[in-house]
A and B are shown apart, each in its own frame.
Chain A
Amino acid sequence: MSGGNASKSKVRSSKRQEGWEEAGGEFYQELYPGGEQELFENLQRADATKLATLLPSKQARNTTTVKRGRSQNERRQSTFARTTQSRDIHLSMLPDLSENLSNEERSWEEIMQIKAMPVPMSQKRELKARLQNATKLRLQGLEQLQWRQRKVWHRFRSRLGEVLAKLGLWHGSMRVIEGKFGTGVVSYFLFLRWLLFLNVAMSALTLCFLIAPNSLLYECFGNHNATAGCPDLGNSSGNVVLDFIQGTGWMEGSVLFYGMYSDQVLVYELPNFLGTMGYNMPLAYILVPITWALLSLVAVVTAGAKGFKERLVESEGQFYLYCNLVFGGWDFCVHNAKSAKIKHVALFNEIKGCLQEELYKEEKQSRTREGTLLLHLRRVLINAFVLLILVVSGVIIYLAFSFSTSSLYPFTGDLTTAGPNETYAEDLASAPSRSQIRNTLLGFLPYICIVVLNLFVPEVFGYLIGYEGYRPRHEILITLLRTVLLRLASFAVLLSQVYMQVRGVLGPEFLMTFLVNFPRSFLGRHSNGCLKIIGTQGFYLPKHVLDIVYIQTIIWMGAFFCPFLPIIGVVFYFLLFYMKKFNCLVNCTPSPVVYRASKSKSLFMSVLLVGFVISVAPVAYSVAEMPPSAGCGPFRGYAAVWQFAVATFEGLPPLVRELVFLLGTATFAVPAFAICLLLLYYYWAVATANRHMVAVLRSQLVLEGHDKQFLLNRLSAFIRQHQKRCERRNRAGDDDSIRQGSK
Chain B
Amino acid sequence: MGVGQSYPGLTEDVLEDYTTLTYLNKGEILYLMKKFYSIDPVRMDADYHHRFEKNLILKKFDVLQNNPFQDRLFRVFSSKEDDCFSFEDLLDLCSAMSSECPIEVKAAWAFRVFDLDEDNQISSRDISEIVDRLTGAARRGHLLDDDSKNKIANVILEEINLVSSGGIGLNEFKIIMTRIPEFHSSFYFRL
Contacts of B69 in A (CB 8 A): 330, 332
CB 8 Å contact bits of A317-352 with B (1 = contact, 0 = none): 011101111111111111111011100110110011
- In the complex where A111-B20, A161-B25, A327-B114 touch, is A335 in contact with B181 (Cβ < 8 A)? no
B60 to chain A: closest CB distance in Å?
13
B26 at interface (Cβ–Cβ under 8 A)? yes
- In the complex where A49-B165, A61-B170, A115-B23 touch, is A319 in contact with B156 (Cβ < 8 A)? yes
Contacts of A162 in B (CB 8 A): 25-27
Contacts of A49 in B (CB 8 A): 163, 165-166
A121 at interface (Cβ–Cβ under 8 A)? yes
Contacts of A513 in B (CB 8 A): none
| Inter-chain contact B136/A341, CB cutoff 8 Å | yes
B48 at interface (Cβ–Cβ under 8 A)? no
| Inter-chain contact A351/B26, CB cutoff 8 Å | no
B110 at interface (Cβ–Cβ under 8 A)? yes
With A and B bound together, what is the CA distance between A108 and B62 in angstroms?
37
Contacts of A326 in B (CB 8 A): 127, 130-131, 134, 152, 156
Most central of A328, A597, A709 by chain B CB within 10 Å = A328
B76 to chain A: closest CB distance in Å?
9
With A and B bound together, what is the CA distance between A325 and B25 in angstroms?
31
With A and B bound together, what is the CA distance between A179 and B180 in angstroms?
23
A158 at interface (Cβ–Cβ under 8 A)? yes
| Inter-chain contact A158/B114, CB cutoff 8 Å | no
- In the complex where A118-B105, A323-B180, A327-B183 touch, is A58 in contact with B121 (Cβ < 8 A)? yes
- In the complex where A165-B25, A330-B134 touch, is A319 in contact with B190 (Cβ < 8 A)? no
A739 at interface (Cβ–Cβ under 8 A)? no
B51 at interface (Cβ–Cβ under 8 A)? no
A598 at interface (Cβ–Cβ under 8 A)? yes
B15 to chain A: closest CB distance in Å?
12
With A and B bound together, what is the CA distance between A339 and B67 in angstroms?
11
| Inter-chain contact B20/A112, CB cutoff 8 Å | yes
With A and B bound together, what is the CA distance between A324 and B179 in angstroms?
10
Contacts of B131 in A (CB 8 A): 326, 351
A379 at interface (Cβ–Cβ under 8 A)? no
Chain A residue nearest in CB terms to B62: A335
Chain A residue nearest in CB terms to B20: A111
A173 to chain B: closest CB distance in Å?
11
A473 at interface (Cβ–Cβ under 8 A)? no
With A and B bound together, what is the CA distance between A166 and B119 in angstroms?
42
With A and B bound together, what is the CA distance between A339 and B135 in angstroms?
13
Contacts of B12 in A (CB 8 A): none
Chain B residue nearest in CB terms to A712: B163
Among A59, A116, A120, A175, contact of B92 (Cβ-Cβ < 8 Å): A120
CB 8 Å contact bits of B149-174 with A (1 = contact, 0 = none): 00110011001011101100111100
A183 at interface (Cβ–Cβ under 8 A)? yes
Contacts of B180 in A (CB 8 A): 315, 320, 323-324, 327-328
Among B26, B28, B64, B185, contact of A335 (Cβ-Cβ < 8 Å): B64
| Inter-chain contact B161/A335, CB cutoff 8 Å | no
B22 to chain A: closest CB distance in Å?
6
Contacts of B102 in A (CB 8 A): 116
A175 to chain B: closest CB distance in Å?
5
| Inter-chain contact A166/B27, CB cutoff 8 Å | yes
A189 to chain B: closest CB distance in Å?
12
| Inter-chain contact B189/A332, CB cutoff 8 Å | yes
A105 to chain B: closest CB distance in Å?
15
- In the complex where A183-B188, A310-B181, A348-B144 touch, is A115 in contact with B21 (Cβ < 8 A)? yes
Contacts of B163 in A (CB 8 A): 48-49, 52, 709
A706 at interface (Cβ–Cβ under 8 A)? yes
B81 to chain A: closest CB distance in Å?
9
CB 8 Å contact bits of A140-182 with B (1 = contact, 0 = none): 0000000000000000001001100110000100110011000
| Inter-chain contact B64/A331, CB cutoff 8 Å | no
A724 at interface (Cβ–Cβ under 8 A)? no
With A and B bound together, what is the CA distance between A328 and B110 in angstroms?
10
Chain B residue nearest in CB terms to A315: B179
| Inter-chain contact A351/B186, CB cutoff 8 Å | no
A60 at interface (Cβ–Cβ under 8 A)? yes
Among B64, B127, B161, B170, contact of A62 (Cβ-Cβ < 8 Å): B170
- In the complex where A158-B25, A175-B190, A709-B162 touch, is A323 in contact with B136 (Cβ < 8 A)? no
Contacts of A329 in B (CB 8 A): 134, 182, 186
CB 8 Å contact bits of B51-63 with A (1 = contact, 0 = none): 0000000000011
Contacts of A118 in B (CB 8 A): 96, 105, 108-109, 111-112
| Inter-chain contact A333/B189, CB cutoff 8 Å | yes
Among A53, A61, A125, contact of B166 (Cβ-Cβ < 8 Å): A53
| Inter-chain contact B21/A121, CB cutoff 8 Å | yes
Contacts of B92 in A (CB 8 A): 120-121
| Inter-chain contact A705/B162, CB cutoff 8 Å | yes
Contacts of A339 in B (CB 8 A): 66
Contacts of B127 in A (CB 8 A): 326
With A and B bound together, what is the CA distance between A322 and B135 in angstroms?
14
A355 at interface (Cβ–Cβ under 8 A)? yes
A596 at interface (Cβ–Cβ under 8 A)? yes
| Inter-chain contact A120/B89, CB cutoff 8 Å | yes
Contacts of B63 in A (CB 8 A): 179, 333, 335
A86 at interface (Cβ–Cβ under 8 A)? yes
A70 at interface (Cβ–Cβ under 8 A)? no
| Inter-chain contact A706/B79, CB cutoff 8 Å | no
| Inter-chain contact A347/B134, CB cutoff 8 Å | yes
Contacts of B135 in A (CB 8 A): 344, 347-348, 351
| Inter-chain contact A332/B112, CB cutoff 8 Å | no
| Inter-chain contact B182/A596, CB cutoff 8 Å | yes
A515 at interface (Cβ–Cβ under 8 A)? no
| Inter-chain contact B152/A178, CB cutoff 8 Å | no
Among A57, A165, A174, A341, contact of B171 (Cβ-Cβ < 8 Å): A57
- In the complex where A121-B89, A340-B66 touch, is A52 in contact with B166 (Cβ < 8 A)? yes
Contacts of B134 in A (CB 8 A): 325-326, 329-330, 344, 347-348, 351
B126 to chain A: closest CB distance in Å?
10
A136 at interface (Cβ–Cβ under 8 A)? no
With A and B bound together, what is the CA distance between A175 and B183 in angstroms?
19
Within 8 A of B (CB), among A268-326: 310, 313, 315, 318-320, 322-326
Most central of B177, B182, B189 by chain A CB within 10 Å = B182
| Inter-chain contact B177/A327, CB cutoff 8 Å | yes
With A and B bound together, what is the CA distance between A691 and B102 in angstroms?
25
A592 to chain B: closest CB distance in Å?
13
Chain B residue nearest in CB terms to A184: B185
| Inter-chain contact A124/B186, CB cutoff 8 Å | no
With A and B bound together, what is the CA distance between A205 and B102 in angstroms?
36
A599 at interface (Cβ–Cβ under 8 A)? yes
B184 at interface (Cβ–Cβ under 8 A)? yes
CB 8 Å contact bits of B62-98 with A (1 = contact, 0 = none): 1111111100000001010000000011011001110
Within 8 A of B (CB), among A485-499: none
A122 at interface (Cβ–Cβ under 8 A)? yes
CB 8 Å contact bits of B4-38 with A (1 = contact, 0 = none): 00000000000001111111011110000000000
Contact sample, A vs B, 19 pairs, CB 8 Å cutoff: A48-B163, A57-B172, A60-B170, A118-B96, A118-B108, A118-B111, A118-B112, A122-B88, A158-B25, A178-B190, A183-B188, A322-B152, A326-B127, A326-B130, A328-B183, A329-B134, A335-B63, A596-B181, A597-B186
Q: Which B residues have a C-beta under 8 Å from some C-beta of A? A: 17-23, 25-28, 62-69, 77, 79, 88-89, 91-92, 95-97, 102, 104-105, 108-112, 114, 118-121, 127, 130-131, 134-136, 143-144, 148, 151-152, 155-156, 159, 161-163, 165-166, 169-172, 176-177, 179-190
Closest 10 CB pairs of A and B: A344-B136, A328-B182, A121-B88, A598-B181, A120-B79, A333-B189, A340-B66, A118-B108, A58-B169, A348-B135
Apart from A121-B88, A161-B25, what are 6 other A-B pairs with CB-CB below 8 Å? A55-B169, A58-B120, A171-B190, A328-B185, A352-B144, A597-B182
